[in-house]
Amino acid sequence: MSELAKPRMTAKDRARLAADRLKALYPAVSELEHRNAFQMLIATILSAQTTDRSVNAVTPALFARYPDAAALAHANPAEVEAMIKPTGFYHVKAKTIIAASAALVERFHGEVPPRIEDLVTLPGVGRKTANVVLGVAFGIPGFAVDTHVKRLTRRLHLTKSTDPVKIEAEVTKMLPPEEWTGFSLRLILHGRRICLARTPRCPECVLNDFCPSSTVRAKGGRRPLTATAASVRLGHGRGTVRKRPGRRPGTRH
């Protein structure tokens, strides 16, 4: 029986099929440019309420001036504010990244900890940010739920919840741990390019033949991929999920 001939597709079926389809189009990467876990952490905090492009425009100078947690922990707030102003909410963000850096120095010897239990204790770091850092910087499975992931998981009927913690818990039960990070990152990319908030581009979506929210339906069988990997490949290679030697999938700490 083909995947489209199934009389009733379960949420788990949709999750796994969506993960497979999106994997053919998108790399498992973050669009935030970074070179190490510290930069990824700070960039992710700065990305709140703004675009990754805005963050990428300011972080090269920021990290050149403050290359590590020790440097940023002792930064002049006014100088940091001036550097990150284009990202918006710069007063709060400057205070937050300085405080987070100070916490790294005081409690973790200046290093970003590879445990979600530790990451969420840092100023400005919730589960979303922690899961992004775990997956992208450490290759540790984590399912980050941002506004795009929240929207797409509901449109795919993988969840009815609007609570990021519940969404994370429900979706991760449907997929093996090694798929969590990639699926989250690809949902984000797909949400930015195709499954837009106000006007989703359903005719162009490779999920439109089984997505319960699709405004179109393919005729005559499975819809072929409507985009190629080359058309959505990112302009930089940073952020690709790396596997840590000796760590088993699904292990967070």
Q: Where do the domains of the chain lie, and which CATH numbers do they carry?
A: 11-29+143-232 (1.10.1670.10), 37-138 (1.10.340.30)
pLDDT at 217: 66
pLDDT at 6: 46
Residue of 93, 128, 150, 209 marked catalytic: 128
- The amino acid present at 80, given as its one-letter code, is V
**pLDDT reading at 240 higher than 70:** no
**DSSP, res 23:** H
User: What percent of the chain stands above pLDDT 90?
Assistant: 81
| Confidence grade of residue 8 (pLDDT, cut at 50, 70, 90) | confident
Instruction: Tell me the average pLDDT of the chain.
Output: 87
Give tens-digit pLDDT for 111-167.
999 999 999 999 999 999 999 999 999 999 999 999 999 999 999 999 999 999 999
pLDDT at 72: 98
pLDDT at 126: 95
Task: Note if 146 is an active site residue.
Answer: yes
User: What percent of the chain stands above pLDDT 70?
Assistant: 83
Sorted by sequence, the CB contacts under 8 Å of residue 163 that are 6+ apart come out as none
Residue of 52, 93, 146, 209 marked catalytic: 146
**pLDDT reading at 241 higher than 90:** no
**pLDDT reading at 237 higher than 50:** no
Measured CA to CA in angstroms, residue 97 lies from 12, 37, 137, 154, 212 at distances of 38, 14, 17, 32, 40
**pLDDT reading at 227 higher than 50:** no
What angle, rounded to 10 degrees, do the helices at 90-108 and 77-84 form? Answer: 120
User: Among 145, 210, 209, 217, which residue's Cα sits nearest to residue 181?
Assistant: 145
State the pTM of this model: 0.81
Nearest-5° Cα angle at 214, 209 to 218: 30
Give tens-digit pLDDT for 98-115.
999 999 999 999 999 999
Q: In sequence order, which ranges of the chain are alpha helices (DSSP H)?
A: 11-23, 37-46, 52-65, 69-73, 77-84, 90-108, 116-119, 127-133, 147-155, 164-172, 177-193, 229-232
Tell me the backbone φ, ψ of residue 185, rounded to 5 degrees: -65, -40
pLDDT at 7: 53
**pLDDT reading at 84 higher than 50:** yes
For 182, the 3-state DSSP assignment is helix
Task: Note if 23 is an active site residue.
Answer: no
Does residue 39 contact residue 61 with C-beta atoms inside 8 Å?
A: no
**pLDDT reading at 205 higher than 80:** yes
Give the CB-side neighbour count of residue 224, counting CA atoms within 13 A.
3
Give tens-digit pLDDT for 162-195.
999 999 999 999 999 999 999 999 999 999 999 9
